[in-house]
Amino acid sequence: MSAGSSILCAICTENFQTSDTIYNTSCGHVFHHSCIQDWRIRSTQCPVCRARYANMQKLFLNFDENAGGESMINELQAKLQSCDSNVNKLYEQLNNAEVNFLRLQGQYTTAKEEINLLKGELSKRNDSETNFRLLQKQYTEAEENIKKLKDKNQYLLLQFEGKTKEIQLKTLEISTLKDTMGCMGTSAIGSDSILKQQLKIMEQKLRHITRELQKEISISTQVSIDKMKLQSLVDQYGAVQTEPSPNVVNNIQEQKPIEKKNRKPTEKETITNDSTHLTSVVIKRFPSRHISYPLIDVIMALASAIQMPLSTYDIHDVRILEQRSVACHLPNMVSLLVKFKTLHLKINFLHNKSKVRDHPEYGSILIYEYMDDNTSSLFYYAKRKLAALGFINVFCQNGQLMASKDRNGAVKLIHIKSRDQVDDMLSSNAESIRLRKMKVT
C-alpha cells in the first residue's frame, strides 16, 4: 500500500491494500471480508453505526499509488526548504551575535583600559594632594618663622639703636674726659689709656652686635625668599604633582630650633601686637570663591568695584582671619584684615563701603574699622550697657569709640574711653531718675 492510501477498515484499523477482498454493508460501511465475517459471528449490527444490515456486497477498488507520493514529496520538499531557510536565518543570527560579541569585547577592553588610566590619575591626584598639604604646612611654618624673625629683628634693631646711643654717649664722655685730661697734663696719661682700652672693648662689642644683626637680617631675607617660593608653588598647584624645594626644606629645618624656643602666637596676639592697627579695616562675609593669591589683588578688585582709586603700594598687608581646615579648604565666607599705609586711605575706603550693597558679586560683604582686643571688648560692653540710655549708635572712629543717640551721628558725640566711664553714665542716669521720682512724690 502506498503512502497516499488513507481508507481504513473499521474493525482492524488497517489500510486497504489492492490485493484485499473488500465488502460493504447495506448501511454503506466497508470492511475486510475476513474481518466482517468474524464480526457477524458475534453480532448482526454494523460495528460502526450499530444498524442491522440485510446483506453485503463485494467492492472492487483501484488505488493510485503514485498520486499521494508526489504530493507528499512536494510537501516534504517545502518543509525541507523551510528548514533550510530557518537554518540560514539562524546562521545569520549567529554571525550577528559573534560580531556583537566581538564589538562588546572591544568596548569592554577599552573601558577596562580607561578604568586603569583613571585609577592611575586618581593615585597621582592623591599624591598631589598629599604634597600640596605638605607644601601648605611648610608655607604656614615659614610664614610663622618670618613673623618671629621680624619681631626678633625689630627687637635687635631697638637694641642696636640703644647700643649706638650708648656708644655715642660714651664717645662724648670720653672726648670730654680727653679735653679735661689735656688740661691736667701728663698725670692723666694712665687714665686716658684705660679709657681708650674701654673704648676699644665697646667698639668690639658694637662690631659683634652689628655682625649678629646682619646675620639675623640675612636669615630673615632668605626666609622671605623661601616664603615667596612657597607662595608661588601654592599658586601654581593643580593636577600636576609638585615637589617641595630642597632649599626651602633646609631653611625651614634650620629655623626649627627657633620655633621650639618660642611659643606659637595666637591670631589675636598677632593682631594685638601690631602697631599699625589704626590703619586697618576688617572685611567680613567675603565670598571665598573670589579669593586668589596674592591677596592684594583681591583688595584691588574690591576697590575697583567700589570705584575707589587704589594701587598696590597703598596696601601694607592683607590677611585671612579664619583658620584653614586639615584639607586646606576655606569656608564659604571668610574675613579679611587689610592694613593700609596711611590713615587717609583707610578713611577713604570706609567712606566708599556703602557702594558694595547693590553689587552683584560683593553685595554680601560688611566693612568695619579694625578694633584691637581692648577696644573690641569695650565696644560690645558700651553697646550693651548704653542701649538703656538711648545711645543707639556706638561705633569706632580712628581707633576711638564714639556713642550717639542719633543713627547718623548728627547729635553730639560722646567719646567712650573706659568701662568706668560707661558705669558712671549708668549711675548718673539712675541717680537722675531717682531724683525725679522724689520730686514727683
pLDDT confidence of residue 245 = 44
CATH code of the region 276-370: 3.30.70.330
Residue type present at position 193: S
Cα-Cα-Cα-Cα dihedral sign, residues 378, 380, 385, 387: positive
If one compares 264 and 276, the residue with the highest pLDDT of the two is 276
pLDDT confidence of residue 437 = 78
pLDDT confidence of residue 259 = 42
Burial 62-81 (b: 16+ CB within 10 A, else e): eeeeeeeeeeeeeeeeeeee
pLDDT tens for each residue of 40-60: 888 888 988 888 877 888 888
If one compares 392 and 92, the residue with the highest pLDDT of the two is 92
104-132 average pLDDT score: 90
3-state SS class at 340: strand
pLDDT tens for each residue of 153-168: 777 777 777 777 777 7
pLDDT band at 321 (very low <50, low <70, confident <90, very high): confident
Q: Which of the residue ranges 124-138, 190-204, 358-372, 382-396 would you say has the lowest mean pLDDT?
A: 190-204
332-350 average pLDDT score: 87
* CATH fit for domain 1-62, picks 3.30.230.10, 3.30.40.10, 3.30.70.20, 2.30.30.700: 3.30.40.10
If one compares 267 and 339, the residue with the highest pLDDT of the two is 339
Contact call for residues 343 and 398 (beta carbons, < 8 A): yes
User: 381-386, long-range: CB within 8 Å, 24+ apart, which pairs?
Assistant: 381/419, 381/422, 382/416, 382/419, 382/422, 385/422, 385/423, 385/426, 386/416, 386/422, 386/425, 386/426
Nearest in space to 287 (alpha carbons), one of 322, 326, 239: 322
Domain boundary assignment for the chain = 1-62, 92-175, 276-370, 373-440
pLDDT confidence of residue 266 = 46
Q: Which residues contact 399 (CB under 8 A, 6 or more apart)?
A: 277, 278, 369, 371, 375
What's this model's pTM, rounded to 2 decimal places?
Answer: 0.34
175-191 average pLDDT score: 58
pLDDT tens for each residue of 192-245: 667 777 777 877 777 777 777 777 777 766 766 766 666 666 655 543 443 444
pLDDT band at 7 (very low <50, low <70, confident <90, very high): confident
Is the confidence at residue 405, as pLDDT, over 60? yes
pLDDT confidence of residue 180 = 63
pLDDT confidence of residue 325 = 55
Average pLDDT, the chain: 77
248-262 average pLDDT score: 43
pLDDT confidence of residue 320 = 87
pLDDT band at 407 (very low <50, low <70, confident <90, very high): low
Residue with cell 586711605: 345
pLDDT confidence of residue 52 = 84
Q: What percent of the chain stands above pLDDT 90?
A: 9
- Neighbouring-strand partners of residue 317: 339
pLDDT confidence of residue 170 = 73
pLDDT band at 108 (very low <50, low <70, confident <90, very high): very high
